[in-house]
Structure formats: C-alpha cells, structure tokens
Amino acid sequence: MKPQIHRIKLGINSCYLIREKSVIMIDGGNPGKLKAFQRKISELGIAPEEIKLIVLTHSHFDHAGSAKEISDYTGAKIILHASEIDYTNGRVMIVPKGVNAWGKITQPVLFPVFKRLKFAGFTPDILIDEPEFCLDVFGIEGKIIHTPGHTPGSISVLLDTGDAFVGCMAHDGLPFRLKPGLPIYACDIDELKKSWDLLIEKGAKKIYPGHGKMFEVEEVKGLRV
C-alpha cells in the first residue's frame, strides 16, 4: 500500500500525516495549534483516534509545541530521542549555532525570542536511543533513524518508499532559506552532514523538511552550508 502523505502547517512548522494501515504524525507544530490541527484532520477525513504516534524530530518549540494537546486529543503516543528528555518541560531549549552568514546574523536575534516561547510540557511515551526504530508496529512501512546535527537527538523518519521526513536537517523557505539547503542553525554541522550521508545511503529520495515543501534529495547532495 502506497502511503498517503499530507503536509499541514501548524505555525512556522510543516508537520506531516502519514497514512498506511494507521496514521502517524511527524512533529507537533507551534504552541497553541490544537484547533488548527482539528480543522486540518477534519478536512482530510482523518478521525483523531486513527493517529497512533507523534514522532518529534527534536524538542524545539516549533516542532513539539502542541504535541501534548494533540496527544491528549488523539490518544497518540509521543516518541522522542532519549537525549532530548531534559527539554520536554516547555521551558528550556537546545540552542544551536549559526553555521553560515545568515545563520550567524539571525541566531543572536531570533533565539532569545524563541527561548521565551513556552509550551505545555509532556512526558514522552517512548524514548529511543538506538540508531533505528522500526515503525511496523504502528502500521507504517519504514523506520526512525537517529540523525544528529541540528540537535544531538534529532531523528528522521524514512519510509520504505524513500520518502524522508527530516525536521531541521534541511531548511527551505523564509526566514531561513530561499530554496532547499542545509540548515542555517546546527549544534554540529559536520555531524549533520554525516547524517545526510546516512539517509542517502539508506535510500532517501524525496525530502520533507520541517520548514518548507517537499524536494528531491538531489537538491542537498554534496551541498555545504
């Protein structure tokens, strides 16, 4: 069964709903987006109880901000990398560095603002610390892969079809980039490049970033910041 993929904007973040035997969600959007989420799934004809899992690519406010409310509403479990557990209280955040000229200019301006944006804290139902986590048990043919770089605990979802949901492994669109490319913020950009090599080696073809629309993997092959 070919997966159905739906992109939904919840604030500045692109979240995704993947439907096969059941539905999983990639990221939880900005804080305060439960009503927008409810409206979106109603338009798509997805019942709340169909969503079994919320995969958080990392713990930043624009990816985890409405995770608790969406989890409470749907009954979906939340999964996160174990190294980010200290950042799920909604009050502290991992602060990456600017890694290119625009990133270095905007990082000291934007991140003090971002750090003041609080969200409802939550306790993940599943913490992973292994390199891969199979999604078969949730009705999805694919896996979660640890892809550190933007943050130490960043994870991606790679479907057997080659569709890859990468969070902030890439940026595409304002205020970050004008076209697809490596992120302008990262805790370890060299580690992030290794993560891209891993995803490409494992068959990533179509890239679904946390900011922007889908693009082909060729857009990031061999790119530098």
- Partners of 79 in the beta sheet? 55, 126
With a cut of 70, say whether residue 225 has pLDDT above it.
no
Q: Please report whether residue 131 resides in a domain.
A: yes
CATH number of the domain at 163, please.
3.60.15.10
Q: Please report whether residue 225 resides in a domain.
A: no
Q: Please report whether residue 69 resides in a domain.
A: yes
With a cut of 90, say whether residue 115 has pLDDT above it.
no
Quick one: average pLDDT of 126-155? 98
Q: What is the pLDDT at residue 178?
A: 86
- Nearest CA to 130 among 169, 79, 190? 79
Q: Please report whether residue 224 resides in a domain.
A: no
pLDDT digits (tens, 9 = 90+) for 147-194: 999 999 999 999 999 999 999 999 888 888 988 999 999 999 999 999
DSSP states of 74-90: H--EEEEEGGGGGG-SS
Domain count, the chain: 1
Confidence band (pLDDT; 50, 70, 90) for 220? confident
Name the residue range of residue 127's domain.
4-219
Q: What is the pLDDT at residue 223?
A: 64
With a cut of 60, say whether residue 224 has pLDDT above it.
no
With a cut of 60, say whether residue 70 has pLDDT above it.
yes
Q: Please report whether residue 114 resides in a domain.
A: yes
Residue 131 DSSP code: S
